[in-house]
Amino acid sequence: MRARLLVALWLLASLAGCGIEPWVKPYERQYLADPLMRFERDPIAGAYDKHVNEAREGARGAEGGAGVGCGCN
């Protein structure tokens, strides 16, 4: 089990280091940079939608809004 974990960590480290070539080049990201491609275009409205649902439903969490970057800078 520990050996598998170490192999997985080594693979991840080598991939993060220099292994993988980005398969979507920076100059191919013009569509992704458009606000239309965001999961949540207006954070204030998205937060309100979650509040409305969580007050009335039993489920909570993991509903959108992870919202971290588009890798287009």
Partner 1 sequence: MLPEERADAMYHRYDGGGVTVDGPAVLVRKNFEETLSVSGSYYVDFVSSASIDVIASGASEYSETRTEYSVGADYLYGKSMYSAGVTISDESDYQAATYSFGVSHDFFGDLTTLSFGYALGQDEVSQNGNNEFDEDLDRHTFRLGVSQILTPKLVMDLTYDLITDEGYLNNPYRSYRFLSDPLDPAAGFQFAREVYPETRTSDAGSIQLRYRLPWYAAVGAMYRLYTDDWGIDAHTAQLSYSHVLRQHWTVDLKYRWYTQTGADFYQDLFLFPSQDEKDYRGRDKEISEFSDQTFSIGLSYKRPLEWRFGYQAGMTLQYDRKMFEYDDFTDLTREGFLPGEEPQYELDADVIKLLLTLWY
Q: Does residue 18 touch partner 1 according to CB under 8 A?
A: no
Binding-site size for partner 1 (CB under 8 A) equals: 43
Q: Are 48 and 54 in contact (CB under 8 A)?
A: no
**C-beta of 10: minimal distance to partner 1 in Å?**
15
Q: Which of 24, 20, 17, 63 is nearest to 40 (CA)?
A: 63
Sequence-ordered strand ranges (E) for the chain: none
Instruction: Please report, as ranges, the residues that interact with partner 1 according to CB under 8 A.
Output: 15-16, 20-24, 26, 28-29, 31-32, 34, 36-39, 42-45, 48-49, 52-53, 55-64, 66-73
